[in-house]
Chains A and B, each alone.
Chain A
């Protein structure tokens, strides 16, 4: 038997999803360890046990070992990355310090921005005394204004030698227009200090805008020594246990790449976990034939949302993590501080839920770990959504009376409500906040939420999904049996993906003619980028990974002066002014779809700011889980749906990997280990051939279809 494995390391658990080619799949969870690798190896042991194999037999039978990790993110957030120096153009030493003035707000929640004392939480990634200026200058056209002298390189290298660092970032002005100076500095660094990890800005973050490019390059350099050591140790440990294929790692942009690519560009995997979760849903949505998805993950402290349109996740080009802007494509995951641990408070006669969270410690009142303020989880328990006897797969008992007391004391009494009404109020406030985020990620991007299918993940997602759907007018939601290990599933199934992007600045007239001499360099650059992306997606991982190649090319276009561009698909050969003209028309169509008919304003003129080529290879073969469990009846329970004074009696079912073709009607509950699917009155839940629950809401209940 052959296996596919996906792993995802979270703060508490290391998840492992495994699929055998006999159709069996499993999600296994091991406690995460400080060295990360211990948790992964433990999860591998659990998986081998599950299939009654030795670890060596199991590892030797693995065709794909996918990995998602927060190792880089943790290093960055705990300031434990490698000591790093930065070399930049003379006159611009303080680019990170000044941080476009924006850096002072990094890491602040909306609640914190209005209090000016919170500013400046994060220091610059490289301290000012380790930033070295070098005499050279290139202009926006790539012309050398001041040549870089060898003596100047030597002078700066002496400073690096004295600095006792493990990594050096090189980020000079306009290196994206002419990389020669960065390359010469790098060559000299590598010759003199072969042990140092060197990052070049034109390679790591090829985009105009020195702050984000410099910041990204500095982060990459600082993570380099940490991440390459970590991946080397992981690879060695797994090889010793018989793994024959290279480990592939999930990137923030939602594709896997081989570990050696990550060792060069660790900054590309900072947000691999959330990206893997969205990719997992995209895979399942693809199987089910849905191409507009909202993926929600309701955890203890945060609510994360991804959006998939036409089968592709919506992306963003920049993230802020810790005190650093990261200029790398990433799946756009919207997040707010709302989840099971969100604390309910009455302030000034109004009920607020979150953003303060009880977290895992002390946690909700019902955990009995010392929490005193009622949370959303306490409300769910009181409302009958959760089972006090059977929580977290039966590993934990909840204290319903304590939850009810806390809600009564701190919410119900101050508001003059009954306990159930107060608990329902907590649910409503929380659900409406989550719905606000879902609205903003769809409507703001010009999409109608009613056309989407919602994928509910995270411990609390399947129990809140029905309310979110109703709030947004969504008819269908999906709960997969692997939802508690969704990111691991994503790393195990995701395609190989490489993106090549280059800035290219072109000012185009709104009405005048496009000049042929402007188009030729564009076509040339696009051809070179395509070749590079193809080659990159072929190198690296194992044979079995090389499915069909897909190439997509886009140009970043905007009206002159705008800050936001649209990524517009371009023809294979952008060889003539007419072809570029077509691309501009395509931009205007996209623009009007987004901002409304009549919003196009070609009088302003256009700007093309960059090109992107994306090469991907889907994994060969399909994941086809075999039929499994029948639903097992497990008594009934009163659950509050709309009227808090009239809980509805619900049939309770239990399952882990349900067999296809089973149907249940709401109101009922389906309890999985670690998650509870709530099917509201009037809704029907049916398992598809892969064991996913597809829940269809009664459309007469469509009252909340509000835009």
Chain B
């Protein structure tokens, strides 16, 4: 099902690019062939690899690179992982003597290009005679590369040295000869040497596939032509990306997201983004983010770039060929020493699921605000999807008496964000993983000492909205077949609603992690009690309990974040709410409380729904609404309820579709709305002590315009500063 990103379409006809003459037919043939080669690399990797992260979840990357490290092709793989191999290539170009045919380099250093040490990369130069034409690159998440804790995620680490083996760039294959001494040294550092060894073989096979295929292309068309096609592919995507950016409104978008707990203490960190869009360029300034943390949540500068890419490719890359061209119009600005640009030797073991993930959240939000304020792309506006990935790792000795390690991918099953045009997908997963997958419960139980109590959707977790977010999944499990094992549990987003909504849509529920000690019961007693409906004595784990022992009869239970909603929940069609209730994903209580929909025996009670919705609007603004929203209201739409209007004198104003004037002279409309701090309890949202939430309403209609998450000590950001 996975494949190679789409060929180009839907772009203005333009004359062929200037430069060396390249037959457009040959261009297309070679371009298709390069995409096919990238796909063949994926298949080679997934066939040989023994890591569930690779075989089940496509947590890997394959691509073809220009000599300078720019990527010309990639598969539909974790978008965060697009930049690292390029950084490795640049490092080799700068710091190593010239590569020779048949060489392959391995690396995993987050201070060179990796996101964290688990991301092991390999790259090999592809020559035509003695001329370097391209690099083939591959990387994958390896379950364990050493360090203080199993799976190399070390909550108590204070330096990167504690987080496992770090390889800046080492030649593992020298002119076709595997350096088995180096390989032995690398796998010896891992708690799972066989698994890492098999994957490194998969990497070698992947690069061999690419090299062979490229050589036959060189033989047929000439390496100059193939290299020119690769360059053209990048410039074509760059041109299309710029054309796309040019259609977004000029101005600034200021957004901020948070992550809690740095492994040592439950401190709150902000990732702050000012996105400035001018013409066909976009500058992303993260300078307002928190200083780096003492614990493993930091991202290096390479991680920041990965986080940006994780949102940029899925959000702006629709219908484009995915390559470096998407990144060329983007400038990333931030000083060193922030949580997203940590200085060596800060620990970064959980960067991918902490700061990098949060960077992806803010870039997603900023880009979707811009898309939503552009007439051509407004329908594409999407709320944030799965704003966190909670970690559940388990290590020890398995039911077969072998050392084992499990990095659960089930937590990918958060909800996806609502679109302007339709609801988000239940358990749709994050946008940075274009082809997500999780293993069957049976597959997990077969090879690991687990017994699941359930894996299912959790009702009332989707961000409410006119378009609902997707509901999150949840799982509960105990151990079976062993006497015990060590669990490692950590997340952000237990006290931060990261999966925020758009235009009055609510954030999805926050993560909830719980533990119930077995207290002498075994797994079978437990399951029987569970099926009988008994609730064990839960302990709330908070965001990062870290490593703890687990035994059969103990239960670990977690639910993930739902996707953000879009638009005021009171605008959702009552029939859609009734259908959600019938499906059992929304409770009748929630339907009434949040959506204002009253059901009688499953059917919408029209009259009481009208009354209920009116009462909610009245409560919001402290008085009965005096006007209703008019979707046909004139002006440039900034989402469903706001219009940017230019007055006769040329001034900018923001009006609601009900006719209220919220701001004059700028798009800082929040000043004119009725704003109230709100309690998110009904939405299964928990808030960190330092956070608060504010809702903004149209003073005339009571329509919900935005739900903001912000520092308790501050007012919400005025996100939009557009200069239309």
Contact = CB atoms under 8 A, between A and B. Distances in A.
Interface of A: 90-95, 97-102, 104-106, 110-117, 119-120, 127-129, 135, 137, 139-140, 145-146, 173-174, 208-212, 320, 345-353, 414-415, 425, 428-429, 432-433, 436, 439-440, 443-444, 505, 507, 510, 559-564, 594-596, 599, 601, 603-605, 704, 706-707
Contacts of A439: 36
Contact of B236 (A139, A348, A444): A348
Contact of A415 (B24, B43, B198, B422): B24
Nearest to A110: B3
Nearest to B17: A349
Interface stretch (B83-91, B300-308, B446-454): B446-454
Interface stretch (B46-54, B109-117, B613-621): B46-54
A327 to B, nearest CB: 11
B198 A140 contact: no
A348 B325 CA distance: 14
A115 B319 contact: yes
Given A101-B438, A114-B322, A348 B531 contact: no
Given A104-B428, A114-B6, A595-B205, A91 B455 contact: yes
Interface stretch (B342-350, B352-360, B520-528): B520-528
Nearest to A90: B531
Given A174-B442, A432-B33, A351 B429 contact: no
Given A129-B584, A706-B216, 7 more contacts: A146-B531, A209-B443, A350-B8, A414-B13, A429-B25, A599-B205, A604-B50
B28 A352 contact: yes
B161 interface: no
Interface of B: 1, 3-17, 24-25, 27-29, 31-33, 36, 39-40, 43-44, 46-52, 55-56, 76, 194-195, 197-198, 201, 205, 208, 212-213, 216-217, 219-220, 236, 239-240, 314, 317-320, 322, 379-380, 382, 400, 412-413, 416, 419, 421-422, 425-429, 431, 434-443, 445-447, 451-457, 473, 476, 480, 523-524, 527-528, 530-531, 582-585
Nearest to A424: B25
A119 B425 contact: yes
A562 B456 contact: no
Contact of A563 (B55, B380, B431): B55
A309 B17 CA distance: 45
B455 A113 contact: no
Nearest to A591: B48
Given A91-B452, A113-B435, A349 B24 contact: yes
A576 to B, nearest CB: 22
A97 B419 contact: no
B55 A562 contact: yes
Given A208-B443, A209-B443, A351 B33 contact: no
A173 B5 CA distance: 36
Contacts of A351: 24-25, 28
A481 to B, nearest CB: 33
Nearest to A436: B36
The 3 closest A-B pairs by CB, nearest first: A91-B454, A561-B50, A563-B55
A101 B427 CA distance: 7
B63 to A, nearest CB: 15
Contacts of B43: 440, 444
A199 B5 CA distance: 38
A595 to B, nearest CB: 6
A599 B201 contact: yes
Given A102-B437, A114-B317, A116-B318, A561 B9 contact: no
B564 to A, nearest CB: 14
Contacts of B55: 561-564
Contact of B4 (A110, A127, A146, A428): A110
Given A91-B453, A146-B528, A706-B220, A113 B434 contact: yes
A94 B458 CA distance: 10
A135 B531 contact: yes
A173 B444 CA distance: 12
A100 B440 contact: yes
A145 B451 contact: yes
A interface SS class = mixed
B436 A102 contact: yes
Nearest to B476: A91
Contacts of B49: 561-563
Contacts of A110: 3-6
Given A101-B438, A137-B527, A563-B55, A129 B582 contact: yes
B32 A433 contact: yes
Nearest to B582: A129
A100 B439 contact: yes
B603 to A, nearest CB: 15
B428 A564 contact: no
Contacts of B421: 117
B577 to A, nearest CB: 15
Given A101-B436, A128-B585, A604 B320 contact: no
B219 A706 contact: yes
B46 A564 contact: yes
B393 to A, nearest CB: 16
Nearest to A214: B440
A526 B47 CA distance: 27
B365 to A, nearest CB: 15
Contacts of A117: 318, 379-380, 419, 421-422
Contacts of B15: 349, 414
Contacts of A174: 442, 445
B441 to A, nearest CB: 6
A120 B425 contact: yes
A432 B25 CA distance: 10
A95 B454 CA distance: 10
A306 B582 CA distance: 44
A601 B318 contact: no
B501 to A, nearest CB: 17
B441 A111 contact: no
17 contacts: A94-B427, A104-B425, A115-B318, A128-B584, A145-B451, A146-B527, A352-B28, A429-B29, A510-B194, A561-B198, A563-B46, A599-B48, A599-B201, A601-B201, A605-B194, A704-B220, A707-B212
A440 B455 contact: no
Contacts of B318: 114-117
B190 to A, nearest CB: 13
Which one of A119, A127, A510 has the highest number of Cβ atoms from chain B below 10 Å of its Cβ?
A: A119
Given A347-B11, A704-B220, A440 B36 contact: yes
Nearest to A563: B55
Contacts of A605: 194
